Structure 1
Amino acid sequence: MREHDEGRGLTRRRMLGIGGALGLMAATGLSASAALARRPSITGAELRSAVPLPPPFQVPLPIPAVLKPVGTSGGTDRYEITQREASAEILPGVKTPLWTYEGTFPGPTIESRRGRPITVSHRNTLPVPTVVHLHGGRTPAASDGYPTDLVLPEGWHDATMQMGHGSEHGMQGGMQDPRAVVTKVTRDYTFPLDQRPTLLWYHDHRMDYTAPAIWRGLAGLHIIRDDAEDDLGLPSGPRELPLMIADRAFAADGSLAYPSLDPTLRERPGVREPYLAGVLGDVILVNGAPWPVHEVDAARYRLRILNASNARHYELEAVTDDGRRLDLVQIGADQGLLAAPVTHRLLPMAPAERYDVVVDFSGVPVGSLVKVVNQLGSGRTRDVMAFRVARKATDGSRVPRALSTDLPSWRREDAVRVREFSFRAGRMHGGYGWLIGGLPFDPTRADVTVGLGDVEVWRLVADVHHPVHLHLVGFRVLSRGGGPPLPHDAGLKDTISLRPGESAEIITRFDGYRGRYLFHCHNAEHEDMGMMANLEII
């Protein structure tokens, strides 16, 4: 996909409206963004809550419930999930309307075993169409959650299925997708789960409206396990904690504030102009609770961390009362265990990235607090959550020096081709959007066609921060900016955080299944405003 200089037509008024740095990048391309690469890694504008916010570290950390299968016959586990409106007390004493999976935010966690397929039957009782994507799943195309494979609610007329409706921020001006597979009210998604054990997540992926749907609550966790990982002796049971980090903002009536052009999410996609680069909230939620606290033993804990924010980046560190930074021992990435642990003091996380980390609280005095802070935040958004060390305890867990031997060993010389993609701002449909290779998303266009089993190297280059996600496959990071990968690039990933002005190379093998998939920016506002492309595996 060639680069097109789409941004030169931006007017001075529009550049100033978008914001100096973004407008400059859209107008002058990568040279300007390279000069800005040392700026803070924040892409977007922050909403301010209109309700009083609680002090940090007082609300207990919730642990999402594990969903029970409704059937286990024939070697397949079957689950049922209803997508429905619900109300929850996220801020103490304040009721917040949500769109949910099974009435909770996050939705229920699905626990599964490697190689044992599951079917999840989703029922849509929300007022708009939905699509479910299992992020990180090796999933047949029919169940991958392509953005036009809609599940329509009761009474939704096919005539309203048009995408974009001609809005300046809309995608397709009413274009239909002839390959879309649309169902009414329910849809069965089948996941073979023939993949490495890891933390995945499921979320809405409806075209043009992914960002507001996730913001309203349509996200949940999915954990795959296997016997080999179980035998490693890693912290487990109550000492294994899933942590879904997401920022939000609250309106005066307690609802979630979001700058949609059309709050019904029916007619006109997009957000108000100050938020074109991404929407940030001023409240940090972990598992749906604001700045929570969790009591821990003085022992090792395994933290399965997901950044489920739309656009906010984090640089996490764990700090004791006396200012000491605890090691964050990374044992896994997006797509499962590393070959060997990597120790960090700071852990950068872009939207949709997952890190599997062990933290040892054994050297922390009982009664003291360990704060997880975001070095990229300021004011209230600097705090994330805290752990209170409650008691001494025995600890039989360990972190082995060798974690996994089943990582792929693709080499650069194995690649049958090298492709280049630019991720940058530009003009689309008479307005402003985010483009891959100079083009906005079009579900009817074949962008990339690869042969099943082909190994390819992709060179990715960004103007501002873009977390780039590939569906179906995991990849290894080969280089950044012409140099080696960073320490947190270890292992098999499905999302890479491109920093402003940065280029990176990834290598992957397109195996698993044939069909139509996607790659896109996982800044959800960028994704809704054009930054997706089609990946056809033949």
Structure 2
Amino acid sequence: MARRQVLYAGGALGAVAVAGLTTANALARRPPRTGADLSSRVRLPPPFQVPLPLPPVLKPVGTTGGIDRYEITQREVTAEILPGVRTPLWTYNGTFPGPTIESRRGRPVSVRHRNELPVPTVVHLHGGRTPAASDGYPTDLVLPDGWPDAARGAHRMSGMHGMEHGAQGMHDPRAVRSRLTRDYTFPLDQRPTLLWYHDHRMDFTAPAIWRGLAGLHIVRDDAEEALGLPSGPRELPLMIGDRAFHADGTLAYPSLDPTLRKEPGVEEPYLAGVLGDVILVNGAPWPVHEVDAARYRLRVLNASNARHYELAAVAEDGRRLDLIQVGADQGLLAEPVRHRVLPIAPAERYDLVVDFSGIPVGGLVKVVNRLGAGRTRDVMAFRIARKATDDSRVPRVLSTDLPTWSRSDALRVRDFSFRAGRMNGGHGWVIGGKPFDPARTDVTVRLGDVEVWRLVADIHHPVHLHLVGFKVLSRSGGAPLPHDAGLKDTVSLRPGESVEILTRFDGYRGRYLFHCHNAEHEDMGMMANFEVV
């Protein structure tokens, strides 16, 4: 967005508050775009030339008491993302994306993270049903060797444009900090699905993810494997993200403090979000993957900071292939849903089956982003390499273990607004009019209670709840959209839109977060606490 559009967005909720839903509906017709573009200064490769990389699957270092133990080192490396160009990255185990962990439903894993980066870090397993001590709360820092002291992570620092921004200056008496290593334990007592792990450090999540701190975690079980969905080499994890590059190959990002040690935030034109002009899939620019003329299962994650996509699979003759959705953020749907175009917001995941059997050998199927323009309209491509037998299927019934909650089960209804705000004379993003404060409990819920939450947005806000999955009940008073099916943990609110979600706060007691997953908004105050008691 141009600067005037950013400022317009900043006043959007004020207009909604004055004029109500009529203005909200008008905002909903604005272009589906939040953020400002960064332009790369390095020569970019043509699309569909770089092979699609597949993240390595991490092996456990051992098993103790029925818990599989893993080790990951967070470290800086220099790698080739653009052909012939070297780019410094912050990584998990030296790769971008980080290594994939594959686990079984109900079998706990423990991951020891070692921080060899120059700044504190936190790890959050996004979508995990995780005890609070391992959920990756933003102030539970893993300090690098040589970091001055444990208090440094929450001391008062100058904020963006002179303001004390968001959680800054707020002391968190409950923060649990460790030096160099931390063990995160994940019970994984949850439905099989695609999760992802990423840095969640207070005020610096966006630039840390941008630099490479993200990886996949897949949960499996016997019932899912018995369905006959495409598997093995015909199951592909696809982490989509956008980046921009300086002329020397380094990543471009408009941080106020490029060291990420003191002052958080981004330059003013990017307050609504940072959009790159290079689309990466599994860390490769506009890659191509050779496939059989058969069904493939695509496990798709939007790991972009702020970019939204509308994905379509288009053959060379212009025909769109069906995107058969079999799962959402929190696992399998009850039955498949067919899409020709699928919107996906930051942090959302979709489990899709695409059938390439009708494409001739040698043919190309492009995955395009209908919200993109120029180079950002292309995402990746599949080249049909050979005919092949295919015994996979997409059954009419996928799962029978979805929650049976209904609106009548809800004990209470809560309302939350997600909007731009002004804090100490500067720009920020707030929930219910308040910026994030780790020392404040915003919502208290009882373990096992069912609630309806009504979420209202000024501009695009993908809202994520930690710990729990939820059902989408309605959008702006109407029915949910087809892609809202199943159990989710992130819901995309469009400009001026209200969404009702229904959830049960089960699992674990403790302190958790809900927040916007536009990572720039999150860093600028758009988080809140809920306490399960």
**TM-score normalized by structure 1?**
0.96
Please state how far the C-alpha of 1:17 moved relative to its aligned partner: 5.4
- 1:290-369 residue pairs with structure 2 within 5 A? 290-369=285-364
In structure 2, relative to structure 1, the CA distance for the partners of 1:16 and 1:59 (3 Å cut) is closer
8 Å CA contact retained: 2:74, 2:113: yes
* Among candidates 436, 460, 480, match of residue 441 of structure 1: 436
8 Å CA contact retained: 1:521, 1:527: yes
* Distance in 1 of aligned mates of 2:431 and 2:167: 16
* Among candidates 160, 163, 168, match of residue 152 of structure 2: 160
2:242 is equivalent to residue 247 of structure 1: yes
8 Å CA contact retained: 2:6, 2:271: no
Secondary structure of the residue aligned to 2:297 is: strand
* Among candidates 478, 483, 487, match of residue 492 of structure 1: 487
User: What is the CA deviation profile of residues 128-171 of structure 1, one whole-angstrom value per residue up to 9, with x for unaligned ones?
Assistant: 00000000000000000000000000011124223561312632
* Distance in 2 of aligned mates of 1:16 and 1:470: 30
* Distance in 2 of aligned mates of 1:279 and 1:70: 38
* Distance in 1 of aligned mates of 2:63 and 2:287: 35
Please state how far the C-alpha of 1:72 moved relative to its aligned partner: 1.8
* Distance in 1 of aligned mates of 2:25 and 2:70: 47
Query: Could you tell me which residue of structure 1 aligns to residue 504 of structure 2?
Result: 509
Query: Could you tell me which residue of structure 1 aligns to residue 262 of structure 2?
Result: 267
* Distance in 2 of aligned mates of 1:262 and 1:330: 41
2:95 is equivalent to residue 104 of structure 1: yes
Query: Could you tell me which residue of structure 2 aligns to residue 204 of structure 1?
Result: 199
Query: Could you tell me which residue of structure 2 aligns to residue 46 of structure 1?
Result: 37
User: What is the CA deviation profile of residues 280-299 of structure 1, one whole-angstrom value per residue up to 9, with x for unaligned ones?
Assistant: 00000000000000000000
Query: Could you tell me which residue of structure 1 aligns to residue 63 of structure 2?
Result: 72
Query: Could you tell me which residue of structure 2 aligns to residue 28 of structure 1?
Result: 15
* Among candidates 514, 517, 521, match of residue 519 of structure 1: 514
Secondary structure of the residue aligned to 2:152 is: helix
* Distance in 2 of aligned mates of 1:248 and 1:359: 27
* Distance in 2 of aligned mates of 1:401 and 1:303: 18
Secondary structure of the residue aligned to 1:19 is: helix
* Distance in 2 of aligned mates of 1:176 and 1:495: 28
In structure 2, relative to structure 1, the CA distance for the partners of 1:335 and 1:121 (3 Å cut) is same
Secondary structure of the residue aligned to 1:535 is: strand
Query: Could you tell me which residue of structure 2 aligns to residue 151 of structure 1?
Result: 142
* Distance in 2 of aligned mates of 1:40 and 1:141: 38
Secondary structure of the residue aligned to 2:376 is: helix
Question: Which range moved further: 153-162 or 376-385?
Answer: 153-162
Query: Could you tell me which residue of structure 2 aligns to residue 8 of structure 1?
Result: none
Query: Could you tell me which residue of structure 2 aligns to residue 11 of structure 1?
Result: none
Secondary structure of the residue aligned to 2:65 is: helix
* Letter matched to residue 152 of structure 2: T
* Letter matched to residue 145 of structure 2: E
* Distance in 2 of aligned mates of 1:19 and 1:118: 43
Secondary structure of the residue aligned to 2:62 is: coil
* Distance in 1 of aligned mates of 2:220 and 2:174: 34
* Distance in 1 of aligned mates of 2:470 and 2:332: 13
Q: How many residues align?
A: 524
* Distance in 2 of aligned mates of 1:47 and 1:181: 36
8 Å CA contact retained: 1:169, 1:433: no
Question: Which range moved further: 327-336 or 32-41?
Answer: 32-41
Please state how far the C-alpha of 1:252 moved relative to its aligned partner: 1.2
8 Å CA contact retained: 1:71, 1:78: yes
Task: Say what the alpha-carbon RMSD is for the aligned residues.
Answer: 1.2
Please state how far the C-alpha of 1:33 moved relative to its aligned partner: 4.7
Secondary structure of the residue aligned to 1:36 is: helix
Please state how far the C-alpha of 1:39 moved relative to its aligned partner: 1.8
**Stretches of structure 1 lacking an aligned partner (at least 5 in a row):** 1-14
8 Å CA contact retained: 1:86, 1:100: yes
* Distance in 2 of aligned mates of 1:163 and 1:34: 42
8 Å CA contact retained: 1:164, 1:269: no
Query: Could you tell me which residue of structure 2 aligns to residue 6 of structure 1?
Result: none
